[in-house]
């Protein structure tokens, strides 16, 4: 079976801002051709590196974000480069680009001229602020987007945990993920429209706006009630202080333990049953807790006393599974590497072995976000080496001779 | 004024509730699909409890501000699917629809008699997207999630915070927002595939699983290099690296300094600005913006290695300068000189003070029948031929029951009235809103 996007040709001209979107398209079956500048995309210089040896073919970050793509090198600054790009764009379904606004038009590669030869073309520009506005040309980074988008204003610490803490930007490069998710949606909507109307279009996606949309109710709290929320350790931003939900387990890691619907006699009885299995129910079996008023009056004792002690007495994974089996929506706070041991993920076939034939090795990669039962979402191949598919694309597809390819390489067009 | 919309003519049966599912269908609606939200006032989760009802209004099923923003571009059908007649109605609706989407626990739709094989009998090419916590397969499929739990179990929480103290985590359900993204992405992908091949399918999206690919480089550092994230100096807060700890990439981008948040004038709760210099050249520009202070000329700050090693002093000195200006002034001076800087922005800042979001019309007012006129969040993408715009305010509960039951499905007005009396379209004993009384006159 082929992926749901089989048959789709995507040209990706993307750096750290858009490479994840290209990966999504590629892993879902599209033929994504990554066009890198001669010598390779600068993201190849971002670590960590294989065996900590820095090299453009050893960036694990580049590996991860560029699976299921083919790769060619092509500089757009030369007339030869632009001409080759035009030929590729004439046969493409989607062009994804993350250049600064105005760059492609300055080379004569604006949507109008590209779509003249290919009216079905979808051109998606994914940029920090979109194509217009006073901040359009501002420089950014993941951290900058997490600040202006509002993520940092919602993340941080209780005063008791870290006095005077700054707002905290969660790690992992998620500003780029947020932009790529919205870009992917917009591209797919345009593609669906094209299946019905036949026409392509251009799309202007703003990473800043994507981030600004990704803080759950913070904007609604302000718009409807004028409230500005405060940061708390390991739990939701809130107007006032809410009970803590992150507790240290015996092994030094943490458990996220929320009581759905808040404390009441029924929940306390369930908690007592869960903890009693380990002889750790404290006084929660006392019939007095069948009285809602008594539960409310003793909330601090129940949460910060009995519950915290229960979690502190057991490994986090044990608390997590025991609680979930009893219907509590709790989770162990895991380091990513702990996921390799997760039996549920193995049942779902989540981890994928990806061959790196040039190294004679294969490595375990995280797989797909969802299971497509009719057309699989799955990694088809490792990230391309620099210019790996130049011959395939320029010679076999566009019909250039090996001699012409050599000339282009000598003049650094490819 | 009517412009074509990308998903014109696509109909979605939306069983979703709370946040992740409704956030998914919000975007399908923005693209022009007809979203029919199936709700039942007795078991509804998303409208109540409400902590976002304006102070001057009564809290009820129609006055949650957060629900109103999350559910624009949808219609509401009030229907008890747990009755034979209700099931018949929803089956007739599914037969006329393209997508079925829900975010219940893994066995709920199946128990209702609406599992994928049954859906296929009603609508052979249906695109069915289930958005559960752990998915429909795997030994833990019956486990449940909230955003914070999915974030904890998947490793996302661990990547946020300062070293040596508990994780700061994410201050909201990032995986409700992002789970919603994946729900919408899966629905659109399934729809495209159906339009190309004529084949529908069941797409099994899981909030906990969808979180994991967001940790890719950290996971590869472990599976390839054997290096875990449980290590000294990780996570390094807002920095790219924690001083005096091994120099290892932290999965956010290049390892550089300065790379931090700095207090700004007047020192309020959200008066912070972030500054990042990704090269010596950007650092030299920042030095000029700061007025070329003597401390910045010290040799230890002229090299990246020196700046990384002496970050505590570097950050303290930079903050002495940022404290003299407000966060927008720091931003403007830095950016005008080619230095990466942006303000930490609260929701109020984004809605009121952000000149870029204002220029892009991110928050435009919309009238809602119970809440009045309020700003609603717009789309972050501009499609030239098929703009994604908010075209319907969030529905009152059951607001479109007559339109759908009589207009679309062809039941009689008498059927509608009977359904309100016998607990199909509204609980028989529950008080009806005036618009529902009008509907069954």
> pLDDT (tens digit, 9 = 90+) per residue, A66-122?
999 999 999 999 999 999 999 999 999 999 999 999 999 999 999 999 999 999 999
Residue B220: inside a domain, yes or no?
A: no
Q: How far is CA B43 from CA A327, B38, B48, B101, B104, in A?
A: 18, 11, 10, 18, 12
Total domains in chain A come to 2
Which of A294, A314, A341 is the C-terminal boundary of a domain?
A: A341
Q: Do A60 and B217 touch (CB under 8 A)?
A: yes
The verdict on B339 and B393 lying in the same domain is no
The verdict on A334 and A363 lying in the same domain is no
Q: How far is B412 from chain A (nearest CA, A)?
A: 33
Q: What is the mean pLDDT of residues B10-17?
A: 98
CA–CA separation, B171 and A130 (whole Å): 27
> pLDDT (tens digit, 9 = 90+) per residue, A242-282?
999 999 999 999 999 998 888 999 999 999 999 999 999 99
> pLDDT (tens digit, 9 = 90+) per residue, B114-131?
999 999 999 999 999 999
Residue B194: inside a domain, yes or no?
A: yes
Total domains in chain B come to 2
- The DSSP code for B12 is E
Interface of B with A in 104-163 (CB under 8 A): 116, 134-135, 137-141, 143-162
Q: Measure CB to CB from residue A60 to each of B189, B221, B235 and give the nearest one.
A: B221
Q: Measure CB to CB from residue A167 to each of B181, B261, B351 and give the nearest one.
A: B261
Q: How far is A293 from chain B (nearest CA, A)?
A: 21
Interface of A with B in 262-291 (CB under 8 A): none
Residue A2: inside a domain, yes or no?
A: no
Q: Residue B93: which of B164, B12, B159 has the closest Cα?
A: B12
The verdict on A36 and A137 lying in the same domain is yes
Kindly indicate whether the ipTM for this predicted assembly is greater than 0.95, answering yes or no: yes
Can you tell me whether residue B20 is helix, strand or coil?
Answer: helix
The verdict on A337 and A359 lying in the same domain is no
Range of the domain at B254: 237-263+272-343
Contact (Cβ atoms closer than 8 angstroms) between residue A269 and residue A289: yes
Which of A290, A313, A341 is the C-terminal boundary of a domain?
A: A341
Single out the catalytic residue among B14, B176, B204, B354.
B176
Q: Do A47 and B249 touch (CB under 8 A)?
A: yes
Whether B2 has a pLDDT exceeding 80, the answer reads no
The verdict on B372 and B334 lying in the same domain is no
Three-state secondary structure string covering chain A: CCCCCCCCEEEEECCCCCHHHHHHHHHCCCEEEEEECCCCCHHHHCCCEHHHCCCCCCEHHHHHHCCCEEEEECCCCCHHHHHHHHHHHHCCCEEEECCCCCHHHHCCCCHHHHHHCCCCCEEEEEECCCCCCCCCCCCCCHHHHHHHCCHHHHCCCCCCCCCCCCCCCCCCCHHHHHHHHHHHHHHHHHHHHHHHHCCCEEEEEEHHHHHHCCCCCHHHHHHHHCCCCECCCCCCCECCCCCCCEEECCCCCEEEECCCCCCCHHHHHHHHHHHHCCCCCCCCCCHHHHCHHHHHHCHHHHHHHHHHHHHHCCCHHHHHHHHHHCCCCEEEECCHHHHHHCHHHHHCCCCEEEEECCCCEEEEECCCCEEECCCCCCCCCCCCCCCCCHHHHHHHHCCCCHHHHHHHHHCCCC
Q: Measure CB to CB from residue B272 to each of A166, A177, A373 and give the nearest one.
A: A166
CA–CA separation, A157 and A163 (whole Å): 8
Token pair, residue B90, equals 């929803």
Contact (Cβ atoms closer than 8 angstroms) between residue A66 and residue A386: no
Biggest alpha carbon–alpha carbon distance for chain B = 86
The verdict on A117 and A251 lying in the same domain is no
The verdict on B304 and B421 lying in the same domain is no
Q: Measure CB to CB from residue B212 to each of A153, A248, A339 and give the nearest one.
A: A339
Q: Do B191 and A192 touch (CB under 8 A)?
A: yes
The verdict on B246 and B307 lying in the same domain is yes
Burial of B150 (C-beta count, 10 Å sphere; 0-12/13-18/19+): buried
Q: Do B153 and A332 touch (CB under 8 A)?
A: yes
> pLDDT (tens digit, 9 = 90+) per residue, B204-240?
999 999 999 999 999 999 999 999 999 999 999 999 9
The verdict on B125 and B197 lying in the same domain is yes
CA–CA separation, B174 and A170 (whole Å): 11
Reported as type and span, the H/E element at residue B311 is helix B311-322
The verdict on B410 and B290 lying in the same domain is no
Residue B134: inside a domain, yes or no?
A: yes
Contact (Cβ atoms closer than 8 angstroms) between residue A405 and residue A392: no
The verdict on A134 and A42 lying in the same domain is yes
Contacts of B368 in chain A (CB under 8 A): none
Interface of B with A in 397-426 (CB under 8 A): none
Reported as type and span, the H/E element at residue B166 is none
Which of A341, A370, A399 is the C-terminal boundary of a domain?
A: A341
Report if pTM > 0.95: yes
Can you tell me whether residue B27 is helix, strand or coil?
Answer: helix
The verdict on B51 and B161 lying in the same domain is yes
Residue A273: inside a domain, yes or no?
A: yes
- The DSSP code for B383 is E
The verdict on A333 and A375 lying in the same domain is no
Residue B222: inside a domain, yes or no?
A: no
The verdict on B125 and B194 lying in the same domain is yes
Q: Do A155 and B218 touch (CB under 8 A)?
A: no
Which of B312, B343, B374 is the C-terminal boundary of a domain?
A: B343
Residue B69: inside a domain, yes or no?
A: yes
The verdict on B293 and B177 lying in the same domain is no
Residue B223: inside a domain, yes or no?
A: no
Q: Do B276 and A143 touch (CB under 8 A)?
A: yes
The verdict on B297 and B406 lying in the same domain is no
Which residue in this structure is represented by tokens 């702990």?
Answer: A338
Q: Does the CB of A112 have a partner CB in chain B at under 8 Å?
A: no
Can you tell me whether residue B363 is helix, strand or coil?
Answer: strand
Residue B176 annotated as catalytic: yes
The verdict on A144 and A293 lying in the same domain is no
- State the virtual CA torsion across B70, B176, A176, A187 in degrees, nearest 10: -60
Residue A255: inside a domain, yes or no?
A: yes
Range of the domain at A171: 9-213+347-410
pLDDT of A261 reads 80
The verdict on B207 and B246 lying in the same domain is no
Which residue in this structure is represented by tokens 């009517």?
Answer: B2
Contact (Cβ atoms closer than 8 angstroms) between residue B340 and residue A137: no
Q: Do B347 and A168 touch (CB under 8 A)?
A: no
Reported as type and span, the H/E element at residue B151 is helix B147-154
Q: What pLDDT tens digit does each residue of chain A (414 aa) get?
A: 899 999 999 999 999 999 999 999 999 999 999 999 999 999 999 999 999 999 999 999 999 999 999 999 999 999 999 999 999 999 999 999 999 999 999 999 999 999 999 999 999 999 999 999 999 999 999 999 999 999 999 999 999 999 999 999 999 999 999 999 999 999 999 999 999 999 999 999 999 999 999 999 999 999 999 999 999 999 999 999 999 999 999 999 999 999 888 899 999 999 999 999 999 999 999 999 999 999 999 999 999 999 999 999 999 999 999 999 999 999 999 999 999 999 999 999 999 999 999 999 999 999 999 999 999 999 999 999 999 999 999 999 999 999 999 999 999 999
Residue A228: inside a domain, yes or no?
A: no
Contacts of A47 in chain B (CB under 8 A): 248-249, 255
CA–CA separation, A351 and A345 (whole Å): 7
Q: Measure CB to CB from residue A234 to each of B146, B157, B185 and give the nearest one.
A: B157
**What's the pLDDT band for B1 if we cut at 50, 70, 90?**
very low
The verdict on A43 and A152 lying in the same domain is yes
Q: Do A64 and B338 touch (CB under 8 A)?
A: no
The verdict on A76 and A177 lying in the same domain is yes
Residue A402: inside a domain, yes or no?
A: yes
Which residue in this structure is represented by tokens 């715009």?
Answer: B389
**Mean predicted lDDT score pLDDT of chain B:** 97
Residue of B126, B189, B283, B390 best to disrupt the A interface, most CBs of A under 10 A: B189
Q: What is the CATH number of the domain that holds B176?
A: 3.40.50.10540
pLDDT of B434 reads 97
CA–CA separation, B35 and B42 (whole Å): 21
For residue A334, the chain B residue with the least C-alpha distance is B155
The verdict on B81 and B195 lying in the same domain is yes
Strands (E), B198-294: 201-206, 259-263, 272-276
Interface of B with A in 263-302 (CB under 8 A): 263, 269-270, 272-274, 276, 278
Q: Does the CB of B232 have a partner CB in chain A at under 8 Å?
A: no
The verdict on A34 and A121 lying in the same domain is yes
Q: Measure CB to CB from residue B65 to each of A144, A173, A223 and give the nearest one.
A: A223
CA–CA separation, B419 and B436 (whole Å): 12
Long-range CB contacts (within 8 A, 24+) of A77-80 = A77/A107, A78/A411, A78/A413, A80/A408, A80/A411, A80/A413
Contact (Cβ atoms closer than 8 angstroms) between residue B436 and residue B398: yes
The verdict on A28 and A164 lying in the same domain is yes
The verdict on A31 and A150 lying in the same domain is yes
Q: What is the CATH number of the domain that holds A171?
A: 3.40.50.10540
Token pair, residue B434, equals 């005036």
């Amino acid at each position: 079976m082929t992926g749901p996007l089989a048959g789709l040709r995507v040209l990706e001209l993307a750096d750290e801002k858009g490479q994840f979107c290209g990966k999504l398209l590629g892993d879902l079956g599209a033929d994504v051709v990554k066009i890198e500048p001669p010598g390779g995309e600068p993201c190849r210089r971002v670590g960590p590196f294989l065996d900590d040896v820095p090299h453009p073919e050893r960036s694990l970050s580049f590996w991860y974000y560029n699976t299921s793509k083919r790769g060619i090198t092509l500089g757009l600054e030369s007339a030869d480069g632009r001409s080759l790009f035009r030929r590729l764009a004439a046969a493409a379904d989607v062009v994804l680009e993350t250049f600064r606004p105005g760059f492609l038009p300055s080379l004569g590669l604006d949507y109008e001229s590209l779509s003249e030869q290919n009216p079905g073309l979808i051109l998606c520009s994914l940029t920090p602020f979109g194509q217009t506005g006073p901040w359009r040309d501002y420089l950014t980074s993941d951290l900058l987007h997490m600040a202006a988008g509002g993520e940092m204003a919602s993340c941080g610490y209780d005063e008791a945990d870290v006095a005077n803490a700054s707002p905290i930007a969660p790690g992992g490069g998620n500003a780029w993920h947020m932009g790529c998710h919205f870009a992917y949606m917009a591209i797919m909507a345009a593609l669906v429209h094209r299946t019905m109307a036949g026409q392509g279009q251009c799309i202007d996606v703003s990473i800043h706006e994507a981030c600004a949309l990704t803080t759950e109710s913070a904007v609604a709290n302000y718009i409807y009630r004028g409230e500005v929320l405060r940061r708390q350790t390991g739990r939701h931003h809130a107007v006032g202080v809410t009970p803590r939900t992150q507790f240290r387990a015996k092994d030094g890691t943490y458990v996220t333990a929320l009581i759905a619907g808040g404390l009441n006699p029924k929940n306390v009885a369930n908690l007592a049953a869960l903890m009693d299995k380990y002889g750790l129910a404290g006084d929660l079996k006392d019939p007095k807790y069948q009285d809602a008023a008594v539960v409310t009056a003793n909330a601090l004792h129940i949460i910060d006393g009995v519950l915290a002690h229960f979690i502190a007495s057991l490994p986090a994974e044990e608390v997590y599974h025991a609680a979930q089996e009893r219907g509590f929506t709790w989770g162990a706070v895991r380091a990513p590497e702990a996921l390799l041991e997760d039996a549920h993920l193995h049942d779902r076939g989540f981890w994928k072995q990806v061959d790196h034939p040039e190294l004679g090795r294969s490595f375990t990669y995280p797989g797909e976000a969802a299971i497509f039962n009719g057309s699989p979402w799955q990694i088809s191949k490792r990230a391309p080496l620099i210019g790996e598919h130049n011959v395939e694309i320029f010679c076999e597809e566009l019909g250039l001779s090996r001699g012409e390819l050599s000339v282009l390489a000598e003049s650094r067009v490819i | 004024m009517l412009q074509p919309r990308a998903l014109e003519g696509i109909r979605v049966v939306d069983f979703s509730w709370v946040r992740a599912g409704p956030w998914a269908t919000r975007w399908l609606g923005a693209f022009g699909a007809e979203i029919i939200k199936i709700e039942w006032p007795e078991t509804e989760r998303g409208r109540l409890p409400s902590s976002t009802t304006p102070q001057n209004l009564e809290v009820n099923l129609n006055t949650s501000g957060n629900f109103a923003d999350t559910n624009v571009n949808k219609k509401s059908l009030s229907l008890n699917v747990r009755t034979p007649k209700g099931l018949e109605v929803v089956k007739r609706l599914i037969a006329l629809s393209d997508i079925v989407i829900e975010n219940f626990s893994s066995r709920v739709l199946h128990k209702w008699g609406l599992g994928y094989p049954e859906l296929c009998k009603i609508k052979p090419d249906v695109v069915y997207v289930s958005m559960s916590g752990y998915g429909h397969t795997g030994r833990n499929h019956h486990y449940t999630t909230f955003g914070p739990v999915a974030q904890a179990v998947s490793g996302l929480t661990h990547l946020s915070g300062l070293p040596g103290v508990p994780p700061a985590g994410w201050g909201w359900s990032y995986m409700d927002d992002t789970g919603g993204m994946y729900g919408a992405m899966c629905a659109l992908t399934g729809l495209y595939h159906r339009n190309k091949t004529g084949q529908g399918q069941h797409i099994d999206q899981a909030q906990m699983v969808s979180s994991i690919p967001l940790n890719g480089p950290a996971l590869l550092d472990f599976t390839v290099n054997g290096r875990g994230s449980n290590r000294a100096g990780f996570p390094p807060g807002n920095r790219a690296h924690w001083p005096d700890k091994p120099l290892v990439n932290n999965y956010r981008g290049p390892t550089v300094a300065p790379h931090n948040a700095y207090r700004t004038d007047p020192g309020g709760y959200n008066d912070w600005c972030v500054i990042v210099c990704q090269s010596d050249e950007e650092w030299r520009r920042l030095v000029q913006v700061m007025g070329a202070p003597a401390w910045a000329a010290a040799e230890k700050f002229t090299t990246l290695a020196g700046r990384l090693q002496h970050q505590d002093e570097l950050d303290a000195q930079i903050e002495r300068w940022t404290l003299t200006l407000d966060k927008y002034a720091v931003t403007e001076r830095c950016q005008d000189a080619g230095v990466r800087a942006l303000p930490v922005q609260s929701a109020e800042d984004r809605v009121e003070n952000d000149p870029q979001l204002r220029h892009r019309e991110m928050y435009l007012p919309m009238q809602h029948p119970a809440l009045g006129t309020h700003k609603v969040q717009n789309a972050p993408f501009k499609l030239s031929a098929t703009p994604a715009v908010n075209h319907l305010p969030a529905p009152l509960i059951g607001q479109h029951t007559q339109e759908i039951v009589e207009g679309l499905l062809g039941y009689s007005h008498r059927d509608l009235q009977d359904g309100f009396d016998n607990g199909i379209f509204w609980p028989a004993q529950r008080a009806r809103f005036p618009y529902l009384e009008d509907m069954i006159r």
